[in-house]
């Protein structure tokens, strides 16, 4: 009953957010490309899925590290398995529905290892990853707006130092699709996903004697709109939406390149000049810097994610921003945000662009990112009690940031 009353009270906000999403998609689609407008709607669907399924990377890894509960990480393995099955044949063929497609395949070097480690550390201090920051901020978490602001600033700083980091030794990009073929790459990837899932099962049973039972959620009537959703439903939906992104954009889902662009646009608005920085001298980035920010696919999808999460939060009756944020928590958001942004630039992406989409693309750098970022999370978990009151004695939950 209380949720119904709250949902009715927030109905105007729901209508406003949904209207902005649809009108924005129509405007972007008419001014630029129709596909870009459609991708804003896809971003909105990403936001709704992330919010309703509470599909976080940060909390899932923290729960595994502190409690040896692996349900969240196993859901990520399901998501990756579905993505690989969909992506590899298309990437091997080089086209999807008659349109050229490419994956996110990046070199492996010092910058990737250090950047992913910093990103992982920033996840636990900032309170979220790239997708987590967007959907929780859009869903009404005021603290995550601070993390997002400094995420953008960190991305800008990372783009200033990008050329130097890329001058350090690195291996050439390696793609499982190219080296083992689509079928061989799928077999290798599925074996790795199964091994990781099996390890979490062993760890959880050793600590608790049995696996954690997933909360029962009956998906009927308005539950699809108001949530919550089962975690596995979120995993399946995210994989399918990433495949839709590949079909429409010609490349997988990414998030943080837009943060660097927003930071650069803001810096130039204030009188700065980033055109001489190595990162902005590549043809694609130079073109993005000169063009309207609304022509950038990643920007449009990010805005869609926040609006979609806002729609989901208001439909669930849980949109209630709290601006009373402890000073230590603000400090963690600032430090964590800077680490997230800087680390993402060094590592060729975040938990989405490097981990999810990188592994879905068959890139070995995605696997290196996973290991280094997880190590950063382990350190971050140890540092969290310095910033969050009662953290040392509190059991984390899968729905926390």
d(CA 23, CA 52): 23
Directed axis angle between helix 58-67 and helix 364-383, to 10°?
60
Q: What percent of the chain has pLDDT over 70?
A: 93
Once rounded to an integer, what is the mean pLDDT over residues 348-371?
A: 98
pLDDT confidence of residue 3: 55
pLDDT confidence of residue 224: 76
pLDDT tens per residue, range 234-291: 999 999 999 999 999 999 999 999 999 999 999 999 999 999 999 999 999 999 999 9
Radius of gyration of the chain, Cα coordinates, nearest whole angstrom: 20
pLDDT confidence of residue 226: 80
> 53 Cβ partners below 8 Å, 6+ apart?
227, 228, 229, 230, 231, 233, 234, 235, 237
In the chain, how many H helices and how many E strands?
A: 17, 4
pLDDT tens per residue, range 316-359: 888 888 899 999 999 999 999 999 999 999 999 999 999 999 99
Checking if the pLDDT of 9 tops 70, the result is no
Q: Which helix (H) or strand (E) holds 171?
A: strand 170-171
- 0.85 exceeded by pTM: yes
Looking only at the bridges linking them, the beta strands covering 108-109 and 99-100 are unpaired
- 270-275's contacts with Cβ under 8 Å and 24+ in sequence apart are 274/156, 274/159, 274/160
Confidence of residue 41 (pLDDT cuts 50, 70, 90): very high
Report yes or no: 109 and 168 within 8 Å, Cβ to Cβ.
Answer: yes
């Amino acid at each position: 009953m209380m949720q119904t009353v709250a949902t009715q009270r927030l109905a105007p906000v729901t209508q406003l957010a949904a209207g902005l999403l649809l009108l924005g998609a129509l405007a972007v689609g008419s001014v630029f490309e129709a596909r870009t407008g459609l991708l804003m709607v896809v971003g909105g669907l990403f936001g709704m899925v992330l919010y309703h399924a509470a599909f976080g990377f940060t909390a899932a890894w923290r729960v595994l590290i502190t409690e040896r509960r692996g349900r969240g990480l196993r859901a990520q393995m399901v998501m990756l398995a579905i993505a690989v099955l969909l992506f590899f044949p298309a990437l091997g063929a080089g086209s999807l529905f008659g349109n050229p497609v490419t994956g996110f395949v990046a070199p492996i070097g010092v910058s990737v290892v250090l950047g992913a480690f910093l990103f992982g550390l920033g996840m636990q201090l900032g309170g979220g990853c790239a997708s987590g920051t967007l959907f929780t901020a859009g869903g009404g978490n005021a603290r995550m707006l601070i993390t997002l602001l400094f995420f953008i600033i960190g991305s800008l700083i990372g783009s200033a130092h990008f050329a130097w980091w890329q001058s350090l030794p690195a291996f050439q990009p390696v793609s499982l699709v190219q080296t083992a073929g689509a079928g061989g790459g799928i077999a290798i990837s599925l074996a790795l996903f199964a091994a990781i899932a099996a390890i979490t099962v062993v760890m959880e049973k050793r600590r608790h004697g049995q696996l954690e039972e997933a909360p029962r959620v009956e998906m009927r009537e308005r539950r699809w709109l108001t949530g919550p959703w089962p975690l596995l439903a979120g995993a399946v939906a995210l994989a399918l939406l990433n495949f839709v992104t590949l079909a429409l954009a010609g490349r997988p889902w990414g998030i943080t390149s837009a943060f660097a662009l927003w930071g650069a646009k803001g810096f130039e608005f204030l009188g700065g000049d980033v055109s001489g920085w190595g990162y902005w001298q590549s043809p694609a980035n130079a073109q993005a810097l000169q063009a309207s920010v609304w022509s950038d696919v990643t920007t449009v999808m990010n805005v869609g994610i926040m609006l979609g999460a806002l729609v989901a939060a208001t439909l669930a009756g849980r949109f209630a921003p709290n601006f009373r944020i402890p000073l230590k928590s603000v400090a963690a958001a600032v430090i964590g945000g800077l680490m997230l942004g800087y680390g993402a630039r060094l590592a060729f992406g975040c938990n989405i662009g490097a981990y999810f989409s990188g592994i879905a693309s068959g890139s070995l750098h995605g696997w290196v990112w996973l290991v280094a970022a997880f190590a950063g999370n382990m350190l971050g978990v140890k540092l969290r009690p310095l910033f969050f009151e009662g953290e040392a004695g509190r059991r984390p939950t899968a729905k926390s940031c």
